[in-house]
Amino acid sequence: METNHKIIFGDCLEKLKDIPDESVDLVFADPPYNMSKKKGLDWKFSKHITMQETWDIFGKDEFFEFNLKWLSECFRVLKHGGSLWVSGSFHNIYQLGFIIQNLTDVKINNSIVWFKPNAQPNITCRMFTESTEHLIWATKNGSNQKWKFNYEDTKNEIEDEINPKGKQTRNVWVIPLTPPTEKQTGPHPTQKPIELLRRIIISCSDKGDTILDPFAGSGTTNLVAMQLGRNSIGIERERKYVELIKKKLSREANAKLFKEAKIVLES
């Protein structure tokens, strides 16, 4: 089956307007956290520096407005019964949850705690080591209260230290940080592991569905969509990351199994 992958260069607040109502089956969003400082903290014992990305710096009211706008647009383009997954840290996840709870016709099904067993140490030694991210799974219900959940696939295809194969999957997932083998086409400061996207995509979509990522970054969502026979749309506002996505998808498409994938870059 041929799959299509569209990478759109630009600000998602603008570019989402071009996507028709109810045309997307699944949204995965990994938006700005608003945790960056103009100058990140470093530590003499490691090369790690805390976030200092310009796309991740907002004023308080500006951040709320931004989150409300992109979430509303994503629910507009989502089909009835479609799912929206958003990931974040304590810096943004409560605000995102508050906004989602207040949107009409939207139901939160689960929140997932992603535990990272090899998380970075805490540089200040003035608080606990952050070793989780949080995901919200919400569905656009309409009147029929139906959503896609591939229950058997979740039991058979999700496995980790606390989720044995063949059993119901819990809402705590153990997945290590993105390994270097997944960064061979170039670096991105907040690249998600393939395994995280694989779990979301197999749970809430079928082959041939269309998946949207409004904050595509290094293109993990597009890549996993391609690997699993889904179509994808990624929006990214930094040119260098659009180039990275293109490189990553072309490399994957050239591999034996994915000759059928068509990649379109829209500037």
Ligand X SMILES: C[S@@+](CC[C@H](N)C(=O)[O-])C[C@H]1O[C@@H](n2cnc3c(N)ncnc32)[C@H](O)[C@@H]1O
> Which positions lie near ligand X, rule CB under 6 A?
11-13, 30, 32, 55, 188, 190-192, 215, 217-218, 220, 235-238, 241
Compare residues 13 and 119 and give the one whose CB is closer to ligand X.
13
CB of 215 to ligand X, least distance (A): 3
Amino acid identity at 224: V
How many residues in the chain?
267
- Minimum distance from CB of 4 to ligand X (Å)? 20
Q: How many whole angstroms separate alpha carbon 48 and alpha carbon 50?
A: 7
Helix (H, G, I), strand (E, B) or coil at 35: coil
Which one, 82 or 217, has the nearer CB to ligand X?
A: 217
Are 4 and 225 in contact by the 8 Å Cβ rule? The answer is no
Radius of gyration of the CA atoms of the chain, in A: 18
The nearer residue to ligand X, 158 or 242, going by C-beta atoms, is 242
| C-beta closer to ligand X: residue 191 or 203 | 191
With tokens 């139901």, the residue in question is 107
What does the buried/exposed string (b/e) look like for 86-112 if buried means 16 or more CB atoms within 10 Å of the residue's CB?
bbbeebbbebbbebbeeeeebeeeeeb
Taking Cα atoms as reference points, which of 69, 68, 33 lies closest to residue 52? 33
Query: Shortest gap between Cβ of 213 and ligand X (angstroms)?
Result: 7
Scan for tokens 């230290």, then name that residue: 161
CB of 70 to ligand X, least distance (A): 7
**Residue 78 Cβ vs ligand X, minimum distance, rounded to whole Å:** 17
Q: In this complex, which beta carbon is closest to ligand X, that of residue 167 or of residue 239? A: 239
CB of 219 to ligand X, least distance (A): 6
Q: Tell me which residue has its CB nearest to ligand X.
A: 217
Q: How far is C-alpha 2 from the chain's CA centre?
A: 23
Comparison of 139 and 191: residue with beta carbon closer to ligand X: 191
